[in-house]
Amino acid sequence: MIGPRTGFGTRASTPAGSPISAMGCPQRFNTTAYVIARAAARHPQKEALAVYPDVTLNAPPAIWTYAALEAATLGIAAGFSRLGLARGDRILIRLDNTPEYAFAVFAAIAIGLVPVPLSAQLTAEDVAFIAADCAAAAIALADDADPSSAPTGLSVITSRDIMRSAATGERAALADTTADEPAYLVYTSGTTARPKGVVHGHRAAWGRRPMYEGWYAITPDDRVLHAGAFNWTFTLGTGLTDPWANGATAIVYTGQRKAQVWPHLIRQSGATIFAAVPGVFRQVLQQSPDGAIDLGSLRHALMAGEAPAAGLIDAWQQRTGTALYEALGMSEISTYVSSSPQTGHRSGFVGKPQPGRVVAILPIDGGTEPLGPGQSGLIAVHRSDPGLMLGYWNRPHEEAEVLRGDWFVGGDVGQMDAEGWIAHHGRVNDVMKPLGYRVAPQEIEAVLETCPGVAEAACAEIEVKAGVRVIGAFIVARDSARPPDLATLEHHAEQHLAAYKQPRIYRIVDSLPRTPNGKLQRARLAV
């Protein structure tokens, strides 16, 4: 395991009076105490959670105050304890996208259990692998799920059981956990055919503090709406953990996710911050009537998960009158580079390292000496960062691959200019190598999406014969009845790309393969 890390070593300068000026996490630290119990003690009757249930928004939202949120969370924790689950036991959370999901995660963390957030869309084979890999003791299932689908030997808890425990009035005591004790375990794609578990300590919640100023500019008066599902750490972090840690209000939508609902929901809920993947913002712009889009009280929006299409940020600003701030992150550390109201947005760059983060660009082929401004390499984060994972679950070889001396290198390629702005050029395993050249697919996609008639573009290598791979471009047309022709696409690429970067194959497709949360699945393009 990467091991205990508290506070920072050398760091970028932090503005005087910044709320994150002291990054050292307390040695005794419990995530649920930090995220929920503090706010419940300070302002128990303040609105913590507003749940909107349907696409029509005719039903009134269910409101949870901080006092009610704390009571429900600790009641569910007591229910987990009655099952005989012991501190450190892993519990799979495979519920629908409802408040019970969030409550179960923080209830487990409260008493020292280790929740494993899962998507309800995983196959039984996927769940069985994860259950065996992490030696899970229990699983929380939606009420309509078949109990026989649960892996053998696990205690089964239903949504009904969870909400019954929330209403008993019984409260579990918060565990006296350490900052470096495992708090939750998330599974992400590995270098092998099976996903790997990323273990985060309780200090991960503290390690999110650079985002408060460096991305959100969040205040206790904010109302934060996230478009993602709870099984995603982006949603659990940005949509719940950080609003609650700041005494703000989290807004949850449990209905069908259609682009048309988001502007309406933002207005109706009084959201001041809206977070989603780039695809959601693109869909809102495409499916809204021409002209200005009224977003009510929204101050600004947040975007992460993948690289946005060219021009998306400017288009959002023009149509909505609100800023859109991008961030770069990963399961192992969440977001760590971002633009913000403080920095503004600079075209071609994701943003700057968040205040207090120590970030460098290292050579792709090895070494620990940071590269100079403008040089392309792997984006690295100092291992002293409290937001960094504890390590991979039982994957010492994969863990060794991402560590270089004092640095964590997660596989993102980019470059940093003299002012600290970072441009992201994709993942090192996404980088294509036609004719021996390194080519980032995002660079080609950004060019193709400026071609007339192109709505979306994605690139991947295609094997045309044994040992010969070329760049393939997959194009979604703005008008499916009149897709751009091959000559138009080729001419546009010739005008804007070096010869070795130009696609050799173009395919018109109805849509690009994406995860339920909207992230591009590049590996499925050439299948």
Q: What is the pLDDT of residues 265-301, one digit of tens each?
A: 999 999 999 999 998 998 999 899 999 999 999 999 9
CA angle 85, 86, 87 (to 5 degrees): 130
| Look-up of token digits 């919640």 | 205
The pLDDT of residue 19 is 31
CA–CA distance, 218 with 354 (Å, rounded to integer)? 14
Structure confidence at residue 467 as a pLDDT band (50, 70, 90): low
Residue 125 reports pLDDT greater than 50: yes
Residue 335 reports pLDDT greater than 90: yes
| High-pLDDT (> 70) share of the chain, % | 93
SS3 6: coil
Between 77-81, 191-195, 219-223, the lowest mean confidence (pLDDT) is in 191-195
The pLDDT of residue 12 is 34
The pLDDT of residue 381 is 97
Structure confidence at residue 7 as a pLDDT band (50, 70, 90): very low
Closest to 48 measured CA to CA, from 76, 67, 34 = 67
Closest to 115 measured CA to CA, from 70, 153, 76 = 76
Q: Is the entire prediction scored with pTM above 0.75?
A: yes
Residue 138 reports pLDDT greater than 90: yes
CA angle 197, 198, 200 (to 5 degrees): 140
CA–CA distance, 349 with 503 (Å, rounded to integer)? 24
For residues 254 and 98, the answer to whether their CB atoms sit within 8 Å is: yes
The pLDDT of residue 119 is 84
Residue 10 reports pLDDT greater than 70: no
The pLDDT of residue 23 is 64
Average pLDDT over residues 464-468: 75
The pLDDT of residue 11 is 32
Residue 21 reports pLDDT greater than 70: no
Q: What is the pLDDT of residues 336-367, one digit of tens each?
A: 999 999 999 999 999 999 999 999 999 998 99
Q: Hey, which bits of 154-209 come out as E strands?
A: 155-158, 182-188, 196-201
| Count of beta carbons in the 10 Å neighbourhood of residue 496 | 15
Q: What is the pLDDT of residues 388-437, one digit of tens each?
A: 999 999 999 989 999 999 999 998 999 999 999 999 988 877 777 776 66
Of all residues in the chain, what percent are helix, strand and coil, respectively (each to 5)? 30, 25, 45
Residue 131 reports pLDDT greater than 90: yes
Average pLDDT over residues 220-248: 94
The pLDDT of residue 443 is 80
Structure confidence at residue 124 as a pLDDT band (50, 70, 90): confident
For residues 338 and 354, the answer to whether their CB atoms sit within 8 Å is: yes
The pLDDT of residue 425 is 86
For residues 328 and 304, the answer to whether their CB atoms sit within 8 Å is: yes
| Burial class (CB within 10 angstroms; exposed 0-12, middle 13-18, buried 19+) of 148 | exposed
| High-pLDDT (> 90) share of the chain, % | 70
The pLDDT of residue 517 is 62
The pLDDT of residue 39 is 97
The pLDDT of residue 255 is 86
Average pLDDT over residues 486-503: 91
Q: What is the pLDDT of residues 39-82, one digit of tens each?
A: 999 999 999 999 998 767 677 789 999 999 999 999 999 999 99
Residue 465 reports pLDDT greater than 90: no
For residues 10 and 381, the answer to whether their CB atoms sit within 8 Å is: no
For residues 120 and 94, the answer to whether their CB atoms sit within 8 Å is: yes
Structure confidence at residue 20 as a pLDDT band (50, 70, 90): very low
The pLDDT of residue 69 is 97
